[in-house]
Every structure is written in structure tokens, then in C-alpha cells.
Structure 1
Amino acid sequence: MAEKGREGGSSPMEDPEEQGLLVSVLDSFRSYRRLAHFNGTHVRRQAFYSLPQEHWALLSKPPFSLLDTFSKMDDLIDSNAELAEAIFVAGFKAFLAPTLDNEWVASRVSQQNVNDEFLTYSLIMGHLDAKTSQNDTEKARSCVNQFYREWSAEGAVERSKCFDPVIAALEHEFASRAKDAVSLDRSDLKVLVPGVGLGRLVFDICRAGFSVEGNEISYHMLAASALVLNNTQRVKQYKIAPFALNSSNHISRADQFQTFEVPDVHPAAELVHTGTSGVPGSERMTMSMGDFCVVYSRPDYAEVFDAVATVFFIDTAPNIIRYIEAVRNCLKPGGIWTNLGPLLWHHMSRNEHDEDESEEEKRRRIEVVDAGIGDPGSVELTNEEVVALVEHMGFTIEKQEVGTIETGYISNPRSMLQSTYRPSFWTARKK
């Protein structure tokens, strides 16, 4: 899979702040095993032994056997950690290694460690003073769990609810265009997917025969997608337990400790085929790094794509007008925007003069001409208002459904608690 640089090809290491962000993200995957054992079982054991002795003694025996439960949880943490550490290695190789001086690395890594990539890269991270934040730690944990939704066979239930309507809209668009074209290959339909997460939607659109470019700003997601799309060796290479660290609302321990094998397909093997297109999948799929608003509002992206597909994405916008402007810029006249998702707005209203903001941060914010999603201000609209805004800004809504689709998001179907989205689905055409 070809990759494009962050916001025009610049290296993240050219900016000290960006370097610190990337190092913290990579360290969150490197530290997954240690922190999960501490927060997952060590803290629970402490709380368990804080019970009155007769109580913890009772719960240590069958049919409860909570000490055995903690041991099983430790085993599953180690299984999850194998995936997390593989993401760390893939992310390090993709984003950090190319920016490091070879002589500097050689002076800090012993020759006896060079065959162990995880150990070698961990040693280098130590010299970079890597210290992960709590926020990055939570994102790493969530990222591992998201493999269940995007890359397990069992996750196909959620994927089909969210991806199938969008891919069907692309299929319909291609069929409509093919009627009026003498010769139109499926690869001629160029699709942009912002907010790709772990890359499954991009992969599925590519597998459908279309040309597709994914965009992602999160280093957590970029590192994970780099692993699954470029570096996995086989189907079912990793085993994860996405619900193991959450001990609430389980009917049985077997429900809590379910394991799933990922990935359910081998992307590299799939992408060598042309499939329904005359062009191999590996030549039809690219990935770009950076802020969607900034990257795709640039003149060099004007009227490049035939379609934009957004799934569980538009509610990540502090200011959705910026997203609509970017979509309008990069779509060709007559191109379609197909969207599916809820409106769980990710950004509360932000005070431009937050009392916790330092003078340096204020200065930098003022000096930045285009901070993309980092611009001050935010707004939270209803679905009706979003649709009206899309129409106002140069689109015609051709299809709209609300309440016909129900789906969870990384949901445990055996849990006593079920959270269900009823997302909006619409397709708009640029005038």
C-alpha cells in the first residue's frame, strides 16, 4: 500500500512537538503489556485482598475462583500485548526509523540485539526519553480492541451494517456511469475515505475494484493500519480478547474472556489480485497522513475524486463546515458524498481564551494560518441541520435514511449492556 506524507510530505520529526507526539503514541503500544497488567490485574488483586479475609478466602474457592480469573486475565493481556507490540514495531519502522541517523542508532544499540526488532526499537525509545500519556495509553487499548470490529470474522456483523450501504452507493454510482461510457474500468472511480481508522473500509472498497485513498490523522490508527495492511504474514496471526479488561455486565466469565483471531483475511495476499478491476489492488489503494480539513482543502486536491465515503466520521468535526468545505473542494462536479454515522459530537465548546492555555500556546494558535480541526470554536448540530447545511453548501441530497439501520460499535453481543446506534445514512451529489 502506497503512503503519502503528513500534510504534503513533511516528516513528523521536523517538528519537535510532532516528534514528541509520535514517540508518546509508539510508547503507548510498547507499554501496553506492563500497564495492562498493572491496571487490569494488579489493582484488582490489591482490591480483592483488601476485603475481609473470610470474604476473599470464600471467593478464592470454586465456584468463584477469582484468583484463577485474575490469572486468566493476565494470560489474555499477554495475548493482546503481542498485537500491541507488533503495532509498535510496525509504527516505529514506518514513521520513526526513516528519520533517525544510522550512526546515532548504531552507537546506542548492541549488535547482539539487532535481530530482535522489539528489543532494538525499545532501546532506541529509551534514548528518546519516551513517556506515554494516560490519554495515549487509553487510545492504544481502544485501538487493540477495535481490531475486533474491523479485522475479525465476528466483527463482520457490525461492518456489514456500516460498510455495506456505503459500498452499495459506490456500486450504484459506478453502474450509472458505466451506462454512458464506452469503456469504464472500476478503477476509474476514485474514492476518498477520511478517518480510515484501522483501514478495513479502505481495503473493502479497494477489494470491490475501485481506486481508493484513505486519510487518517491519528498515529495510533496509522501505526495499527500499517501493521495489518503491510506487515501481517497470515490470516489469524493474532488472538485478542477485547472484552477481557472490562469486568462489568458479563453473564459468565466465558463471555468476558472470549477470544477472536485477527485478521480474518490477509490483505497483502488479497491486494495482488485485480479482481473485478483490470488494475491490481496494490496499485489502487493509497493512504495519506494529516488533518483532513487542511490536506483536502488544498488547491492540488481540487476536483480529484469521484466519490467521498465517510463512516462514523463527520461527528469528529469541531466545526463541520470545515469538513463540508474540504469534501466540496476535492470532489469533482457531479461527484457523490455518501455518509453513514451517528452525531456523537467529539468536541465540547471550547473557550478561545481557556485559562489553562499557556501564553506560548495562545501565540502559536494565533500564528497558525490554518489549524484544521485545531481551529478554535465548535458547534453541535442535529441531523436535520447537518443535511440542510450540506445542501446549502452546494450539494443535492439524493438519498436519506434515518432509523433504518441499527448497529453497535465494538459491542459484546453477550453483554448485559447493549449500546445501539441508529445512524443517519445519506448520499449527496456535488452540483
Structure 2
Amino acid sequence: MAEKEWEGVFDPMADPDEQRHLLSVLDSFRSYRRLAHFNGTHVRRQAFYSLPQEHWTLLSKPPFSILDTFSKLDDLIDGNAELAEAIFKAGFQAFLAPTLDSEWVASIVPENYMHDEYQIYSIILDHMNVKTSQNDMEKARGCINQFYREWSVEGHAERSKCFEPVVAALETEFTLRREVQSALDRSAMHILVPGAGLGRLVFDVCRAGFNVEGNEISYHELMASALVLNHVQKAGQFRIAPFALGCSNHISRADQFQTVQIPDIHPGTILGVADGSNVPASTRMSMATGDFCVLYSQAEYKNAFDAVATVFFIDTAPNIIRYIEAVRNCLMLGGLWVNLGPLLWHHAPLRDDEDEKDEKRRKTAKVADAGIGDPGSVELTHEEVVALIEHFGFTMEKQEYAAFETGYMTNPRSMLQSNYRPAFWVARKTKNVN
């Protein structure tokens, strides 16, 4: 990846609320081990021993051996925690370390910890009065599990259904352009991937030879993607058990405790191989942090990209018009918008007890663009989304609906299967609409 891991328009340490959120995210990864052991095994052991004695005695023996199950789960939690703590260190180095005073750090870190990065960062965090939210702790757990989908051999079936059609559409567009410009290099096509997540689609687009910028607002995802794209030393460096902490709907304990090695490939090695572009991959891939609506609606991004690729993204919009306007602004005339995903709208109408928060966002919006935090939300059908996109100057060149089914971080061995039938469409910006 590019030497500068993140680009963007804001400094998270400059705003007190943003700083508190960043520290909460860092602590959510640091706390993964402790909280997973507490919720995953300690609480379950207590519940187990609350059973009638003859019952827990029976279940302690083969073929059940529930106590052995708890011990195995503890071991798997430690494996997951190694990844979580690596993300914590990568995130700390990127976001917090550059802002610290070295003399202050030396004054609070005991000399015997000076060569232990994790201990140094942990001590610093302890001195910053961090309050970690429940939401951030849940997101850290989900982020660890998401590596299964994006960076394991076993997750290939899920991600290939969603990523390969998008990359193929970009390949087709390049072929068409090369018929007009025979000397066109792949790196001349600039692709934006909003909602980049753990960075696999960004990586795959770069691997295909294109110039690609990922965008992500979640610190959890940014820290995790930075680790895998910039800091892992080899394929299979970590072993995680993505389904171990969920104890329902398993056929066998082997299904619950299955492990996967991540990443499935070493990104640095793969991007060092010739890929059909004249420009090195290390200079063709970057990640921008910030709100998609705010960042890509700015004048500096006007007509900046040849294509925008969105996968499982547009339904994260409270107001999809903001997303469409941002795509329209940053996409050049004649550029392509490639989209794949369902419409599981993430923002339901506000409850009464959220009115006060809504009013605060309204006041904020009067003095600054709140982006995804703008008040209001709307949930549209697929047909309505298509009509809206066409209204804003796009022409649909391809549409497919329910052509295939896919899960999203789904355990294929589980008794419970949740599948999407996503829409896939390709739209071209054919006119500018005021």
C-alpha cells in the first residue's frame, strides 16, 4: 500500500468528541481478550454451575464434556485476541502515537516495559481516562469475525460472488476505453471504493492493475485494514475462530470451533508481482478516512474518478440522495458507477428518546456539513433507487436482480442460514444535473 496509509480532511485528535471516539475504538480492541473471556466462558461457567448438580455433573462427562468445551473456547479466544491486539497496536501507531510527547511517555512507562509495544500503548491509554462504549466493543468483535469473509480461503465463496462481478465490470470498461486509446495504461483509470471495510475489494481492484482509492469512516475498519494491508509479514499469520463465540445453531463442536488462517495471501508479496500496469502497485493504492458524503462532495474531488465501485454500501445511507450527489460530483462525465448489494437500510426512523440527539444533529448541520449525521432518513425500494439515480443524470447500462444468493459472514455449517439476493447494476454518468 502507499506509504501514507490514510488521507483525509480531518484530524481526529483535534476534536474532543472525535478523540474520545478514537480512544474508545482503540480500547475496544485492547479489551477484546478480557471481555471475550468474561462473556464467552466466565458467564457461561457460572450459568452451567447454576444447573442442578446432577445435571452439570452428567454434562461434565463424555460425550458432552462441557467443561472441556469451555477450556477449548478460552484457547480460541486467545487466538482471536492476538489479532485484536495487533490491530490495537497498528491503530495506535497510526492515529495516536504521532500526537504524543515523548518526554511524557517516558515519564509514565516503567523502564522494564520500554521494549514492549503493547504494554507501552496500554499504559498510555490507561493514563488517558478512556471510556469504551458497548457499541464499540461489539464492533471490535464483529471486525475480527469479518476477516473470515474478506481475508480467508474459506471466505472466498462469499466475497467472490460480490467482488468478481465488480472487477469484471471495471475490466470491461477498460477494454472499451482501450479500443479508443490503444496506449491506455490500467493505472490511468482511477477507481473509488467507498465503504472499503477491511480493504479486500480495494486490494483486488489494485491487483487488477487499476489506480484505486478506498474510503472508510469507521476507525475499526481503518485500523484493521491498515494491519492487513501494511503490517502483516506473511500469509496465515493469524489463526482465528470466527464462529466460536456464538453458541447457537451448531451441529457439532467442531463446527463451532473451526478456525481459519488470515490473511489468505500476503498483500505486499502479491502486489509486487507484475499486473499489467506500468505503475507500481505501491503507488496505485491509498485509503482516505472520513465521511463519504462530506469528503467527495468537495470541489477538489469534482470529476476525479473514472469509476466508483460500491459493494454492500448504498443501504448504509440515511439519505441516499446524499450518496448519489457525492458520486455524481466525484465521477467524471462518462464515468461508471458499479454497484452490488441488498437494501438492508441501516437507519430506521428515530425513536422518541432519540429526538434530543436528532435536534443536536440539526443544530450541527446549520454550521457544518454533518454528512451521514444529517437529520432524517428514508427507505426506498430497488426500483425507486434506480429511478432516483437516473433522475440525477445517470443511465443504467446493466441491471441484474436476484441472479445469485450470498451470505454475509455466514457460517456455512450453521443450522441457521441468512442469504441475500443482491442487485447488481452498472450506471454511467451521462449528464450533469444541477
Q: Is the 8 A contact 1:196 1:215 kept in 2?
A: yes
Q: Does 1:426 align with 2:419?
A: no
One-letter code of the match for 1:327? V
Cα deviation code 1:262-293 (max 9, x no counterpart): 00111122223342111111110010000000
Question: 2 CA distance for matches of 1:363 and 1:388?
Answer: 28
Residue of structure 1 in register with 2:14 after alignment: 14
* CA contact 1:150–1:159 (8 Å) conserved in 2: yes
What secondary structure sits across from 1:83 in the alignment? helix
Q: Contact 1:352–1:376 (CA<8 Å) still a contact in 2?
A: no
Query: What residue number does 2:368 align with?
Result: 369
| Partner SS state of residue 75, structure 1 | helix
Q: Give the structure 1 partner of residue 205 of structure 2.
A: 205
Instruction: State the partner residue of 1:92.
Output: 92
Work out the CA distance in 1 between the residues paired with 2:141 and 2:30. 11
Shift of 1:368: 3.4
Q: Is the 8 A contact 1:340 1:423 kept in 2?
A: yes
The SS at the match of 1:414 is coil
1:17/1:394 Cα in 2 relative to 1: closer, same or farther (>3 Å)?
A: same
Aligned-partner Cα distance in 2 for 1:270–1:67: 43
Call closer, same or farther: CA 1:207–1:221 in 2, change over 3 Å.
same
Q: Secondary structure at the match of 1:62?
A: coil
Task: Give, in whole Å, the separation in 2 of the partners of 1:149 and 1:232.
Answer: 17
Matched with 1:81 is: 81
**Residue in structure 2 matched with residue 257 of structure 1 by the alignment:** 257
CA apart distance, 1:191: 0.3
SS of residue paired to 2:335: strand
In 1, the alpha carbon distance for the partners of 2:400 and 2:115 equals 54
Alpha-carbon RMSD: 1.5
1:383 is matched with which residue? 382
Cα distance change of structure 1 residues 143 and 186 upon mapping to structure 2, 3 Å threshold:
same
Specify the alignment match of 1:315 in structure 2. Answer: 315
Asked if 2 retains the 8 angstrom alpha-carbon contact of 1:5 and 1:11, the reply is: no
Q: Which runs of 5+ in 2 are unaligned?
A: none
Q: What is the distance in 2 between the residues matched to 1:245 and 1:118?
A: 24
Aligned equivalent of 2:28: 28
Aligned to 1:54: 54
1:175-194 counterparts in 2 under 5 A?
A: 175-194=175-194
Do the aligned residues in 2 keep the contact of 1:394 with 1:430 (CA within 8 Å)? yes
Distance 1:366 1:185 in 2: 42
Whole-Å separation in 1 of the counterparts to 2:304 and 2:336: 12
In structure 2, the residue matched to 1:407 is 406
- The residue matched to 1:107 in structure 2 has which SS? helix
**Aligned counterparts, 1:182-331, within 5 A:** 182-331=182-331
Letter in 2 for 1:96: L
Distance 2:409 2:401 in 1: 21
Shift in Å, 1:4: 6.6
Report deviation, 1:222. Answer: 0.3
Task: State the shift of 1:165 in Å.
Answer: 0.5
Report deviation, 1:53: 0.5
Q: Between 253-262 and 101-110, report the one with greater CA deviation.
A: 101-110
Question: Would the alpha carbon gap of residues 352 and 214 (structure 1) be closer, same or farther in structure 2, given more than 3 Å must change?
Answer: farther
Alignment CA distance shift 1:352-1:318 (3 Å): farther
1:105 matched to which residue of 2? 105
Partner Cα distance (2:324, 2:51) in 1:
55
**C-alpha deviation, 1:119, in angstroms:** 0.7
For residue 31 of structure 1, what is the amino acid of its counterpart? S
1:161-172 matches, within 5 Å, as 161-172=161-172
- Give distance in 2, aligned partners of 1:342 and 1:355: 29
Preserved contact between residue 186 and residue 276 of structure 1 (Cα < 8 Å): yes
- Over the matched positions of the two proteins, sequence identity in percent amounts to 69
CA distance in 2, matches of 1:119, 1:364: 41
Equivalent pair of 2:358/2:375 in contact (CA under 8 Å): no
**Residue aligned with 2:63, SS:** coil
Inter-CA distance 296–352: structure 2 relative to 1 (3 Å threshold): farther
Q: Provide the C-alpha distance between the structure 2 equivalents of 1:125 and 1:294, rounded to a whole number of angstroms.
A: 30
1:128 matched residue in structure 2: 128
3-state SS of the aligned residue for 2:397? strand
Taking the aligned partners of 1:427 and 1:355, their CA distance within structure 2 comes to 38
1:215 and 1:416 mapped to 2: Cα distance?
35
Structure 1 distance, partners of 2:21, 2:14, is 12
* Structure 1 residue 11 displacement after superposition: 1.8
Q: Which whole-Å CA distance do the structure 2 matches of 1:275 and 1:406 have between them? A: 30
